[in-house]
Structures are given as C-alpha cells and as structure tokens.
Amino acid sequence: MCDDGKGGRAVSVERLSADQLPEGDVTVQVEWSCLNYKDALGITGSGPILRRLPMVPGVDFAGTVTQSASPEVAIGDRVILNGWGVGETRWGGFAKLARVEGAWLTPCPADMSPRAAMSLGTAGYTAMLCVQALRDCGLTPSGGPVLVTGASGGVGSVAVLLLKALGHEVTAVTSRSTEKLYLLDELGADSVIGPDDINPGRRPFGKPLWSGVIDVCGGDILTQACAATRYGGTVAACGLAAAAEFSSSVMPFILRGVGLLGIDSVMRPQEDRIRAWEELALLLPQGLTGPMTQEIGLHELTCASEALLDRKLRGRTVVRLDA
C-alpha cells in the first residue's frame, strides 16, 4: 500500500478485507505480478504515477477468477491484466486479490502459466505490440538490421528475443558496457552498440542503417534513431526512459518516408491484446527464464524499485503473491 508519509512516499504491506476492494464486476485471485518502470516511479514517488492515495500499485497481474458478474469471464478462468489505469487510479496487482472490470481482462493463453505471463508482463506485451506494428508496416527479416534501444531493460530484452525468434538481425543499444555479454550471449543480439553509434556523426539526415527501430528511450536517442533509419523504415516509440522531449528534422520523414509510430499499451483494444498475447505464447511459451528474470516478494518491492530506477536491474522482475 502506498500513501503520503512524512518526508515522502510511505510504503507498507497490509492485511485488508475483501470488502475494502474497489468496485468491479470481477474478483481475481492474483498469483503473480511483476515490477515495471511505471510501478517503480509510483512506489518511490519519483513520478506522478499514483493518481489517488492510498493506492495498491501494480499495473500487471495474472491469476484466476474467483467471482464474476461479467458475461465476458467466468469463475475459474485464468486471466491477465495489463494497464487500464490499474495500479494508477485503481488498486492494482501487488495484492492477493484484485477487483476490476471484466472487460479489462485478457485470457491467459492455454500454453502459458501465470508466472510465465508475468515474466513478460506489460514490458513483453508492449514489445510484442512494437514488433507487430513494425511487421504490419512491412518489416521483414531480409530488410536489414533492426535497432532496439534500452536493450537490457524489460521491453528491450523481450524485443530482442522476439525479433531473433522471427529471424531478424538485431542491433542492441545500451549505455552500460557491462551488459554486452548478456545481450549477446543470453538474448542473442547480433551486435551491441552505444547510444553514440546509433547515428554516427549525429547528422540530422544520417547514413541509412536501420530497417526498423524499437525505441524505449525517447529524447535524443529517438532523434538519432529516426535520422539513421532506412528508406521506408518504421520507428516504434513506446517509452521515455531517457526523456519525454523529442526534436527532429523532418528530412527522414519527407525524404526517406520514415514512419514514426506511437505504441500505447494502457488503453489498447482487446483484439490487439489477444493478438499480442497469443503470439507471445507461441514465440516465448515459457516467458523469460534464467538470468533474464528475478523473483521477489512484496516486502522487496521498494528496494527493487530503487534498483530499477538506478538501472541496476536487467530483464524482468516477477512478484510472487503466495507469501
């Protein structure tokens, strides 16, 4: 539970009754959740994520329906929730029970466990939306290298895995030299570069290098990626880990036909969510395993959030709700 405290954000683990849950037509026994960048901002008070207090954070969860007055889900259904303002304006997934609207729930694919789903979470779901958007715009494995920025983080890690599973050549971007072996050996990236190598020379109309881009950073990194994208290529922008501001010459767009797509995952239509999760289950049925994921309990969320914002975590962090 997050609330205002003396000198900053107060975070505690509390025992509440089901009667205290918010309104909604479905109650879910939450089995697993996960820690996202947005969660970390809210828990630490580093960003204006929690719009109401007190708030149970957690923008993701996976579990089993225990009560339902919704025609869209039945008791016993395994479900996933990503976004819809849960964990921001409504109590979220860092709790053993969650009450939400049935229309917000996505079926958990039959071949994917709730834990596997949360090892991907909003990060994996967003990465899949980016990959599908690039492919819908004509990206093919024969088209040339795809650039993934922030590649050692949650969205970036899954994006690299998905693109490699689909046969693409992938160039991963990281500012941390210590992550190079992880990106090459664990994720399978073909090459790893630093931010300064995205657009060598930093020209507003740079050398055409990338057939497509998945950018989680925004700011100058997005500017340089657009400038170095090939003719007809597409840039999928899904984050602002570096900066929210973005400035660019129009030349890549009007002379090379580069497309810039914004990827929203919070209010995405249900058909897009189902499509994304079905393909995730096909390409990564076990989710993320080994060194690509770590597991924590509720009492460890504050420390993990601080580490995530300090860029000391890689891959994904799943949160167990059975303890």
Residue 184: burial class (beta carbons within 10 Å; 0-12, 13-18, 19+) = middle
* Domains of the chain from N-terminus onward: 2-119+287-320 (3.90.180.10), 122-262 (3.40.50.720)
| The predicted structure's pLDDT at residue 244 | 85
| The predicted structure's pLDDT at residue 110 | 93
| The predicted structure's pLDDT at residue 145 | 98
CA distance linking residue 130 with residue 262, whole number of Å: 9
| DSSP, res 261 | E
| The predicted structure's pLDDT at residue 5 | 79
- DSSP H/E element including 212: strand 210-215
CA distance linking residue 301 with residue 65, whole number of Å: 25
CA distance linking residue 93 with residue 175, whole number of Å: 31
Site of tokens 């976004």: 83
| The predicted structure's pLDDT at residue 156 | 94
The percent helix, strand, coil of the chain (3-state, each to 5) is 35, 25, 40
The closest of 126, 70, 57, 69 to 98, measured between CA atoms, is: 57
Average pLDDT for runs of 10 along the chain of length 323: 84 89 95 94 91 93 97 96 94 95 96 95 96 97 97 92 97 92 93 97 95 97 98 96 90 96 95 97 89 90 94 89 74
For 234, the token pair is 């597409």
| The predicted structure's pLDDT at residue 323 | 58
